Amino acid sequence: MNENKSTQSDEVDLHNLLLAFQRMFKGVGEGIFRVINAIKAYYLLLIISITIGLLISYAMHYTTKPHYTSSMTLMLANIRNEFMENQLDNLTVMIEEDNYSAVAERLDINVETAQQIKEMSFTSLDRDRIEEDSILTGSPFQIQLALYDNTLFGVMEPAIVNYLESNRFFTKQKLIKQRQVSSMISRLKGEIASIDSIKTTVGTPKGPVNGFVYGQPIDPTNLYRESVTMYEHQVELEADLEQLDNVEVITGFTPRLHPSGPILMKYLVTGGFVAFLIGTILALILESKKRNRSAL
């Protein structure tokens, strides 16, 4: 008997659920039918509403200041990407808040130039290639910048790079590396000079020469080979000294001749759609009033 009651209860619940769905679909159908009837009855109102919306959208597009968008790709040194993300995020917030004086100070540009920045965004290119619990280090960044003046991309590129390099932590690490490499180069130069002196003594001896250095016989070939190896190491260190920047530009901003926005079609589609919704709501209101008057 308990099983029969449970079965009957389930059947009642299922029946009520089906009735609820039926009422819902019926209400949706009636709503769509009322909308269609209202549009048919007041199609002139919708045409006027859409026309006004398109005209307003065109006027807004015409009065909106054009902007130019370009991107720059940066390669980081062996540092964690989140450090750069925090620094770029701070700059983005200042731009979004129209804090032009702070932006000008950080980028070392004048306020008038800072006011030409519309927006900035950045993306870590390798973010989706690593596991969620991994630390991203030395990955390239892409910075997208929108300016009202297309002649300022050449100014903004070094300004952003210098802003990133000016981080206190990065500057300190760079100075430490510079001292280490410079010290190694200085030591190599001294050792090369000593070997060159020995080569000169062996090549053009002045007085008796016993042919031994530190108990080992002098081999001019080894001296020349050691000198060349040291010089190659010195050249490599000098090249490293020139590449100690924490940020390297891979691809700079591309100058733009034609504006990236505003896009006229986007304005027209948005304006026309909003005007259509407003017109439809007005048509439904008028149709409802008409039906109420008929009922009376």
135 and 183 in a single domain? The answer is no
Number of structural domains (the chain) is: 3
Task: Enter the pTM of the model.
Answer: 0.61
Same domain, 163 and 72: yes
pLDDT tens digits, residue range 175-194?
777 777 777 878 877 777 77
Residue at 159 is within a domain: yes
Same domain for 237 and 187: yes
Quick check: is 111 in a domain? Answer: yes
pLDDT beyond 50 at 215: no
Mean pLDDT of 165-179: 72
**pLDDT value of residue 6:** 56
* Residues 91 and 157 both lie in one domain: yes
Residue 110 lies in a domain: yes
Asked, for residue 135, whether it belongs to a domain, the answer is yes
234 in the same domain as 148: no
Domain containing 146 — which CATH number?
Answer: 3.30.70
35-39, 207-211, 269-273, 275-279: segment of lowest average pLDDT: 207-211
Residues 6+ apart with CB under 8 A from 77: 138, 245, 246, 247, 248
Q: Is 102 among the domain residues?
A: yes
Q: What is the CA radius of gyration of the chain?
A: 37
SS3 content of the chain, % helix, strand, coil (to 5): 65, 10, 20
Residues 192 and 229 in one domain: yes
- Paired sense of beta strands 216-217 and 141-147, if any: unpaired
Residue 289 lies in a domain: no
Domain of residue 177 covers 171-201+213-244
Residue 163: inside a domain, yes or no? yes
What pLDDT does 205 receive?
54
Asked if residue 12 has pLDDT above 80, the reply is: no
Q: Give the mean model confidence (pLDDT) for residues 148-153.
A: 94
Is 194 in the same domain as 220? yes
State whether 223 and 136 are in the same domain: no
Distance between CA 177 and CA 244 in Å, rounded? 7
What rounded mean pLDDT belongs to the chain?
Answer: 79
Residues 55 and 73 in one domain: no
Residues 185 and 129 occupy one common structural domain: no
**Token pair 């060349």 is at which residue?**
228
Task: Lowest mean pLDDT of 49-63, 122-136, 208-222, 244-258, name the range.
Answer: 208-222
Instruction: Examine the domain organization and report whether 93 and 143 are in the same domain.
Output: yes
Q: Is residue 11 part of a domain?
A: no
Asked whether the predicted pLDDT for residue 76 surpasses 50, the reply is: yes
In a shared domain, residues 74 and 160? yes
